[in-house]
Structure formats: C-alpha cells, structure tokens
Amino acid sequence: MRRTRRLNGAVLGLVTATVALGTASASAAPTAASLQIEILVGPPPATTQPPSIPNGGSATIGGLNFVVGFLVRNRGPDPATVKVRIQLPAGLHWGNDAPDPSEDCTVGETSVCSVSLGTQGNFAFSAWGWDVVADTTGSYTLNAQVIESSTSDPDTYDNASSVTVVVTSPAGGSVPGASVAASAVKVSPAKPKAGSTVVASVRVTKGGSPVKPTGIACAATIGKTNVKGGAKSSSGVASCLFKTPKSAKGKRMLGSVFFRAGGQSFKKRFSARLG
C-alpha cells in the first residue's frame, strides 16, 4: 500500500511495507514488537524521503528552510500501533506544511507532535516529513521518541533518537530561507473552558524579526456546529478569538487560522478540548 502527502509543493511518499509472518499458534508466547525510530533531515524541495540521521549524529543544511520527519520500524514478530513524539527546539518552527489533526497529529506550544501509526508485520515501517524553518543559522537538537505502543517492546534502547542539525548560509551569503516563517498555533488559555473565549495565535517572523500578517480568516467547529471567530493582527502575531458555548463542555474544537504575509499564504490548524 502506498499513500502520498503534499510537502511544500512536492510529494513525499508515506510507505508502509509488510513482510508476511507465519501463523502463530494458540499457545504462542506473549505478543512482542521490536520498534526503532530514526529522525529524517533533508533540504527542500522533497520529492523523496529525506535521509535518515543516526542517533547522536548530525546533518548540515544550507539555508533556513529544510525538511524534518521520522521513520519508525517494527521488526515484529507481532503487529503494533504506536504513537511517536517529535520535538523542535527553540529557534525552529513548522513551516507551510506542518503536522495537523488530519494526520492524527497534535502540535503543542512547544512544537511537539504526537502521531498515531499502524505498524504491521516483520520490518514494517512508516515515514513522515514536514517543512521546518529556522530563525537563524546555528546548531539545533531534534528529538523523537516512541511514547506509546499497543504491543510491548522488550528492548527500548532504540525507541528514541536525538540528532543535531547545523544550519548554515549557502555560498555567497544568500539565505533563501529568509522568507516568512509561521509557528504552530498557540491556544490560550492552555486549558480552555466551555463558555469562555479561546484565543488561537500564530507567531509570524522573517529572519527572526516580527512581520505583521494581513487577510486573517478564522474558522472553527465543535462537532457539526460552526464557531464564529474574530480576527486580530499585530506585529508578529495573527490571532483568532472564538467565543465557545457552555454546552460544549468536554467536546473538542477543531479550527484554523489563515493569513497572508510576505507574499505567502498560511493556514495553521489546531485542536483543543474544552473543559
């Protein structure tokens, strides 16, 4: 089976490969998986899977825009459904194509993405990648970890990975990545309550300096009900203010913040459960 997803105007394949296993007998040993995670780093545009960086290794990128993702393997012998967390450090932000709820991802204030993956069979694997923008040149540490698995893994030594990305200026000093960068959505308050006003905001910068966004459009739903949002623009921030109904307690609100900046269009999605 092969599925594809859009990545900064290019297509990155999400490939799941399966090697059939023999049928287990009723008296087989308890289920077990053998999971391994790797961090992927590569330059844009990405038409193929970015290179895998060994745990503790490093990659050098010329320019502020690049691609970050992960690959998780299951060597079996049993199937497993896992959740993976990938974390960006301060100074790195998801770009135009970021993890979002449609991919079973949640992006928090600290740019953490939790992804539900199905792995099945011997040497099965799934790979994902998204746009990342750096505020400036320098060294950044990326972390990824399997945080949950439906099947136990007796050896967890390779369930986490940490790599260093060295961002440099290309030859001639030109930095094509010095375009507008937009952060993940920050929801305030952190634990919103039904009946209150929920603010969804996105930081907008260029080369580390704030940029005022224009054309902000707000959209959100709670179940099948639309929630009206008010747009607000300031230097370096695009915000949407949503007045939630009291009847939405315990329900999840899905929304998006759309805006323009520096000749680019951005649409950032978010998800929040109302207490």
DSSP codes joined into one string, 3-44: EEEEETTEEEEEE---B--PPPPTTPPPP---EEEEEEEEPS
Pick from 32, 273, 29, 25: nearest CA to 150:
32
Identify whether 192 is preceded by a cis peptide bond (ω within 30 of 0).
Answer: no
Predicted confidence pLDDT, tens digits, the chain (275 residues): 223 343 333 333 333 332 233 333 444 456 788 888 899 998 876 556 788 899 999 999 888 888 888 888 877 777 778 788 888 888 888 877 777 776 777 765 454 566 554 445 444 566 778 888 888 889 999 999 988 888 888 888 899 999 999 998 765 444 444 577 888 888 988 889 999 999 999 988 876 677 888 999 999 999 889 999 999 998 889 999 999 999 999 999 999 999 988 778 888 989 889 98
Q: Which domain holds residue 58?
A: 2-18+32-173
Identify whether 45 is preceded by a cis peptide bond (ω within 30 of 0).
Answer: yes
Question: Are residue 165 and residue 228 in the same domain, yes or no?
Answer: no
Question: Are residue 134 and residue 9 in the same domain, yes or no?
Answer: yes
Q: Would 120 be classed as within a structural domain?
A: yes
Question: Are residue 227 and residue 117 in the same domain, yes or no?
Answer: no
Question: Are residue 11 and residue 146 in the same domain, yes or no?
Answer: yes
Q: β-strands 160-168, 58-62: how paired? A: parallel
- CATH code at position 79: 2.60.40.2030
Question: Are residue 149 and residue 244 in the same domain, yes or no?
Answer: no
Question: Are residue 197 and residue 150 in the same domain, yes or no?
Answer: no
Q: Would 168 be classed as within a structural domain?
A: yes
**Reported pTM:** 0.56
Domain C-terminal end among 173, 189, 215: 173
Q: Give me the number of domains the chain comprises.
A: 2
Task: Answer for the pair 10, 47: CB distance below 8 angstroms, yes or no.
Answer: yes
Q: Would 24 be classed as within a structural domain?
A: no
Question: Are residue 48 and residue 117 in the same domain, yes or no?
Answer: yes
Q: Would 231 be classed as within a structural domain?
A: yes
Question: Are residue 119 and residue 243 in the same domain, yes or no?
Answer: no
Phi, psi of 77 (to 5 degrees): -80, -10
Question: Are residue 128 and residue 239 in the same domain, yes or no?
Answer: no
Question: Are residue 8 and residue 109 in the same domain, yes or no?
Answer: yes
Q: β-strands 214-222, 225-226: how paired? A: antiparallel
Question: Are residue 79 and residue 155 in the same domain, yes or no?
Answer: yes
